[in-house]
Amino acid sequence: MLTRRRFLETMVAAGTGIPALKDDGLDRLRGLGQRADSRLPADVARDEDFWLGIQQAFTLDRTLINLNNGGVSPSPRVVQEAMRRYLEYSNTAPVYTMWQVLEPEIEAVRRRLAASFGCDPEEMAITRNASEALEIVQLGLPLERGDEVLTTNQDYPRMLTTWHQRERREGIVVKEISFPVPPPSQDDLADRIERAITPKTKVIHCCHITNLTGQIFPVKRICQLGRARGIEVIVDGAHAYAHFPFTRAELDCDYYGTSLHKWLLAPHGTGFLYVRKAKIERVWPMMAAPPEMNANIRKFEEIGTHPAANHNAIAEALTFHEGIGAERKAARLRYLFQRWAKRLEKLPKVKILTPYDPAQSCGLASVAVEGMDVNKLVAYLWDKHRLIVTPIVHKEFSCVRVTPNVYTTTAEIDRFGDVMEEVIGKGLPA
């Protein structure tokens, strides 16, 4: 197992660590590693000296405060350098260096991702993002006119668009159910889905965690209620993997798609698709593959010429993530969320739309301010304070989404809180 101490030593030795620290930096990091390994994640989450070491592993513009890591996150320096190294080597003679040398190394990345997710490498396809991963299954599952797909109206817009295209083109029926934010419980979410199932339901499409408010769904229960009825269940894990710890066995899913450039901090344009081995042959690839690949997970990677650098550098992101520790990382993200949310919830007209229960949320969370135009609020935060957050405008609610990451400082979180307190108290300037 990679210890905290070994991880930080490796960062510094590779030149990817803490250039701002002086000669005693390595000794300081060693001490931090020793203390972190024997402490509870919740304690480490509040240790600003420990997180300073992580923060300095990134190349960032600290003149602005980026609280929209849910879209795409900066990668640490070690990932950037790996990408640069692979791209430069590829360019020396790409028909050999890229295709013959670097591309086969995708198998090592596949093995490591599979081990992290908890599946067989022969069930793991490496994709360019969650949308590609999920659309492979959405477009590849055979459905007939009149077959029903059950999802929620808070699923990701691109995924809903995909289903509605099949609805227009093939005559399937898409049913979107609603749920309150926050919901009364995870059981309530599962019950709503179960009540909406009909004899025509062939697919359930659900988020692991929503991109709107960060609500975590009871995925295992949903997968099992679908399987018991012969219904395929597709899990959208775009915001879940490497955000909080879990394994495939804990989900009991058959299909899972995610992006790696969000919470894993991998190169931009990376993701994966898990398909249970017994299901692979049934799903058509989005781009054509020969029939001898029908049962091969790699048929979903048949996309033509592409850089090897992106997917190979995933390995560095995995090492960085594992070095921090999944439990410690999740504890830090929950700490940052609750630091700003519990402050703002005391203000009039403010509602936190994300539950504090750690089984139902992590670092992605949303706040609504009654009577305030969310788009104008977000524009003001950027124009006047260089704060980057995300406006969410849904037909049933509107809110500001806040997604810090491991490089985010408590001072940045507190600055967001200061500005929000001021604007909520005084209102937006005319």
What is the per-residue pLDDT across 114-140, written as a single tens digit (0 to 9) for each? 999 999 999 999 999 999 999 999 999
Judged against a pLDDT cut of 50, whether residue 44 lies above it is answered with yes
- Alpha helix (H) residue ranges in 185-295: 186-196, 219-228, 248-251
pLDDT at residue 141, as a whole number: 98
Task: Indicate whether 408 belongs to any domain.
Answer: yes
b/e 233-261 (16+ beta carbons within 10 angstroms → b): bbbbbbbbbbbbebebeebebbbbbbbbb
Task: Indicate whether 72 belongs to any domain.
Answer: no
Calculate what percentage of the chain has a pLDDT beyond 70. 92
Q: Report whether 71 contacts 390 (CB < 8 A).
A: yes
pLDDT at residue 305, as a whole number: 97
Q: What type of residue sits at position 418?
A: D
Q: Is 390 helix (H, G, I), strand (E, B) or coil?
A: strand
Q: Are residues 300 and 338 located together in one domain of the fold?
A: no
Query: What average pLDDT does this structure show over 107-118?
Result: 98
pLDDT at residue 38, as a whole number: 83
Q: Are residues 104 and 13 located together in one domain of the fold?
A: no
Torsion of CA 288, 131, 256, 279, to 10 degrees: -20
**Beta-carbon count within 10 A of 337 CB:** 23
Q: Are residues 135 and 192 located together in one domain of the fold?
A: yes
Q: Are residues 199 and 89 located together in one domain of the fold?
A: yes
DSSP secondary structure string, 148-188?
Answer: EEEEETTS-HHHHHHHHHHHHHH--EEEEE---SS-S-HHH
Q: Are residues 171 and 196 located together in one domain of the fold?
A: yes
Q: Are residues 197 and 265 located together in one domain of the fold?
A: yes
Determine the Cα–Cα distance for residues 138 and 284; give it in Å rounded to an integer: 10
pLDDT at residue 33, as a whole number: 55
- Choose the final residue of a domain: 259, 288, 317: 317
CATH number of residue 371's parent domain: 3.90.1150.10
**Backbone phi, then psi, for 324, in 5-degree steps?**
-65, -45
pLDDT at residue 391, as a whole number: 98
HEC sequence for 23-69: CCHHHHHHHHHHHHHCCCHHHHCCCHHHHHHHHCCECCCCCCEECEC
Task: Indicate whether 53 belongs to any domain.
Answer: no
Instruction: Show the domain range for 7.
Output: 1-38
DSSP secondary structure string, 347-376?
Answer: STTEEE-S---TTT-SS-EEEEETT--HHH
pLDDT at residue 37, as a whole number: 78
**Beta-carbon count within 10 A of 99 CB:** 14
Q: Are residues 290 and 398 located together in one domain of the fold?
A: no
The pLDDT confidence band at residue 36, using thresholds 50, 70 and 90, is confident
Q: Are residues 408 and 300 located together in one domain of the fold?
A: no
Task: Indicate whether 306 belongs to any domain.
Answer: yes
Q: CA–CA distance from 205 to each of 291, 348, 414 (Å)?
A: 28, 37, 37
Preceding amide of 218 cis, omega within 30 = no
Q: What domain count does the chain have? A: 3
Residue among 243, 248, 236, 234 nearest 262 (CA): 243
Q: Are residues 6 and 129 located together in one domain of the fold?
A: no
Judged against a pLDDT cut of 70, whether residue 258 lies above it is answered with yes
Q: Is 151 helix (H, G, I), strand (E, B) or coil?
A: strand
Determine the Cα–Cα distance for residues 237 and 215; give it in Å rounded to an integer: 12
pLDDT at residue 100, as a whole number: 97
Task: Indicate whether 45 belongs to any domain.
Answer: no
Local structure of residue 250 (DSSP, 8 states): H
**Beta-carbon count within 10 A of 224 CB:** 16
- Choose the final residue of a domain: 282, 317, 352: 317
CATH number of residue 227's parent domain: 3.40.640.10
- Alpha helix (H) residue ranges in 205-302: 219-228, 248-251
Q: Are residues 287 and 354 located together in one domain of the fold?
A: no
Task: Indicate whether 22 belongs to any domain.
Answer: yes
**Which H or E run contains 276?**
none
Q: For the packed helices 25-37 and 4-13, what is the interaxial angle rounded to 10 degrees?
A: 160
Q: Which residues pair with 219 in a beta bridge?
A: none
- Choose the final residue of a domain: 283, 317, 351: 317
Tokens at 384, concatenated: 């006047």
Task: Indicate whether 104 belongs to any domain.
Answer: yes
Q: Are residues 349 and 405 located together in one domain of the fold?
A: yes
Query: What average pLDDT does this structure show over 63-76?
Result: 97
pLDDT at residue 15, as a whole number: 38
Q: Are residues 19 and 89 located together in one domain of the fold?
A: no
Judged against a pLDDT cut of 80, whether residue 89 lies above it is answered with yes
Task: Indicate whether 216 belongs to any domain.
Answer: yes
Q: What type of residue sits at position 266?
A: A
pLDDT at residue 7, as a whole number: 44
Q: Is 387 helix (H, G, I), strand (E, B) or coil?
A: strand
Calculate what percentage of the chain has a pLDDT beyond 90. 91
Judged against a pLDDT cut of 60, whether residue 24 lies above it is answered with no
